[in-house]
Homo-oligomer: A and B are copies of this chain.
Amino acid sequence: MNAPVFDNRDCGTCPIRHRAVCARCEQDELEYLDTIKYYRSYEAGQPVVWSGDQIDFVATVVSGVAALTQTMEDGRTQMIGLLLPSDFLGRPGHEKAHFDVTAISDLTLCCFRRRPFEKLLASSPHVSQRLLEMTLDELDAAREWMLVLGRKTAREKIASLLAIIARRESRLRLEDSTDGCTFELPLTREAMADYLGLTLETVSRQISALKRAGVITLRGNRQVTVPDFARLIAESGDDADGGMLP
């Protein structure tokens, strides 16, 4: 009960994690958070919430991958966000979910009961500030993605997605690997298509094309190796430096 709640062993990815090391944190808030926290796991493929559901929690991803999607009546679906470990899920202040959330791999969430979490937000500027920061990051990412969806070719879309995944994966491991990184694709071809606004056939063809061109190497269907990262970036149509590294 007196142990720090958000140390990295326990749940390294909570939005409020900096509080555990923040000199300004007050113990009573940590204890409060402890009382409203619980863990939840989902198997690959399981739905987490449906659009329109009443939601009584917010959460962060501890491990695994989740997809945020939107579906039209006729079945066309668009993935709207990919939640990797450390991403935040939920919408303080709203009763109902706006989007579907599905576990794409086995998934563990660190959940907070919504009402008490909102109470904490209202009273603690540190927490709402941290959440604001994360939300602004997500907004930037969503806007970057709008350029991908609206203006890029199929090949550029694939390259952009691979670059994003590679960057996120390798940042979680080591900063150094400038060249020659290898990672596991957490998505099926169909999920990639839903993310990119393409069909799965086009995704498959373009991945084959990138392989043929030597931009990537595949072991099996999922394990990707990028021998020359700059080459991949060039294929993605992005500015070499990624534009605006802060």
The number of chain A residues touching the other chain, given as a range, is 35 or more
Is A10 engaged at the interface, CB distance under 8 Å to the other chain? no
CB distance from A161 to the nearest CB of B (A): 13
CB-based contact A68/B243 at 8 Å: no
CB-based contact A73/B239 at 8 Å: yes
CB-based contact A150/B149 at 8 Å: yes
Is A174 engaged at the interface, CB distance under 8 Å to the other chain? no
Is A139 engaged at the interface, CB distance under 8 Å to the other chain? yes
CB-based contact B51/A146 at 8 Å: no
- B interface footprint on A39-76 (CB within 8 Å = 1, 0 otherwise): 00000000000011000000000000000101011101
List 15 A-B pairs, Cβ < 8 Å. A70-B147, A72-B147, A77-B151, A78-B147, A91-B140, A93-B133, A98-B143, A124-B125, A132-B135, A139-B139, A146-B146, A149-B150, A149-B197, A150-B197, A151-B197
